[in-house]
Chain A
Amino acid sequence: EAQVTQNPRYLITVTGKKLTVTCSQNMNHEYMSWYRQDPGLGLRQIYYSMNVEVTDKGDVPEGYKVSRKEKRNFPLILESPSPNQTSLYFCASSLSRQGAGETQYFGPGTRLLVL
């Protein structure tokens, strides 16, 4: 089944404790992206990747890191989480860059609470 998977689905942590949220897709997609969803703000892009070893900042990159060592994986790293990073996070992928009108496929989401 074609899908985007994320782990963990739920995570409670404390301020400053490094964490990684994994994302994997099995559709051989080139483009992958991370979003955060906050009430009243919709989805805002954190980082995106157009291919292996090619990553760039989205609209709200502060406090986050990503890497793209393999085509299928795009982990999101919070080196020193803070309470304002409490949010619902989505990973998404598409065949190519979104500007080409490609449909994005979303993971199930990771709900993060930073105490």
Chain B
Amino acid sequence: AQSVAQPEDQVNVAEGNPLTVKCTYSVSGNPYLFWYVQYPNRGLQFLLKYITGDNLVKGSYGFEAEFNKSQTSFHLKKPSALVSDSALYFCAVSSARGSARQLTFGSGTQLTVLP
């Protein structure tokens, strides 16, 4: 069975500092990896995904993520955090070998950017 781990429930960072939200995964075959963001009282919004190719993926709002196959990780990063980045972030994984239902989400990481 595939799984996603987001080891930190909460990440706090000062505005202007770099941020990292961690994600590791376990899946059979090549992974498809996603980051979604949820702002208060809103649905999930797509940030970025890795399917194949360059290990560094750039997404919306200045976010990027690096696929590391040997460490089975897909950490979300941003060079300079904004207060408006404060939200709940979800990592998710699926694979070409998986069944149609197998998009598995992590438990989420609450990011708070302090002014």
Contacts and interface: CB of A to CB of B under 8 A. Distances in A.
Interface string A1-22: 0001000000000000000000
Given A41-B107, A42-B107, A100-B96, A90 B101 contact: no
B95 to A, nearest CB: 7
Tell me whether chain B's interface is mostly helix, strand or loop, or mixed: loop
Given A43-B90, A99-B96, A58 B49 contact: no
Nearest to B108: A42
B99 A99 contact: yes
Interface of A: 4, 31, 33, 35, 40-45, 48, 50, 56-59, 90, 92, 97-101, 103-109
Interface of B: 4, 9, 32, 34, 36, 41-46, 49, 51, 90, 92, 94-103, 105-108
7 contacts: A50-B100, A58-B101, A98-B100, A99-B99, A101-B94, A104-B103, A109-B43
